[in-house]
A and B are shown apart, each in its own frame.
Chain A
């Protein structure tokens, strides 16, 4: 695709449920990042993949959060036992191997936990 695609755009879930958020990066981009943006704040780093492996997962807030990128392209962010405090916009970004500091963001998934 032309840009980073995230699905769904919006997700409403009940407290305690499990959710999966999907990210399709720009074709050929080897680096993929997940960020979380709370209302009125800047994005906060969650996890970074280079290829299939998680190069840096230091931003994951706790063990309820997990992300995978099994084939080095699409990534899924998984949140178990969701809490109301998990409500935020989850942003995905990708960048190319040759310019892996210029990150292109998707439009985000707005997660609301009720």
Chain B
């Protein structure tokens, strides 16, 4: 059972453009929604996270938008750079428990 659906599978963006990755979840008990960045041969690294009591969170060039009623959240990467090229995973969890990950989005930023 796929509890977190992520799209697109892959994304190509020009340098300086906006990268947008979307996720949808099913379990309304989820109350923590992080995004992870993973480079080849490395473990996932936490990028930014949000809780459902806010609709948006911004950290530098990275913004999470959250729509509780639609059970959807998205990651926006502004001014995308070649160094942002990586695989991005959305995830969700109930407090203190296991993370449920999306299938991942391979982002390539063309210079």
CA of A101 to CA of B100, assembled, Å: 12
In the assembled complex, A7 has its CB within 8 A of some CB on chain B? no
In the assembled complex, A100 has its CB within 8 A of some CB on chain B? yes
CB nearest neighbor in A for B44? A105
Count of chain A to chain B residue pairs whose CB atoms are closer than 8 Å in the complex: 55
The answer on a CB contact under 8 Å between A41 and B93 is no
Partner pick for A48 among B89, B95, B98, CB 8 A cutoff: B98
CA of A56 to CA of B100, assembled, Å: 14
CB nearest neighbor in B for A89? B43
Chain A residues positioned under 8 Å from B45 (CB to CB) = 105
In the assembled complex, A20 has its CB within 8 A of some CB on chain B? no
In the assembled complex, B42 has its CB within 8 A of some CB on chain A? yes
Chain B residues positioned under 8 Å from A63 (CB to CB) = none
Q: A48-B97, A48-B98 are in contact. Are A42 and B43 (CB under 8 A)?
A: no
Chain B residues positioned under 8 Å from A102 (CB to CB) = 34, 46, 49
Could you jot down 21 A-B contacts, CB within 8 Å?
A: A4-B43, A33-B99, A35-B99, A41-B103, A41-B104, A42-B6, A42-B89, A42-B91, A42-B102, A43-B44, A43-B99, A43-B101, A45-B100, A48-B97, A48-B98, A56-B97, A93-B43, A101-B34, A103-B99, A105-B43, A107-B41
What residues make up the interface of B, taking CB atoms closer than 8 Å to A?
Answer: 6, 32, 34, 36, 41-46, 49, 89, 91, 93, 95-104
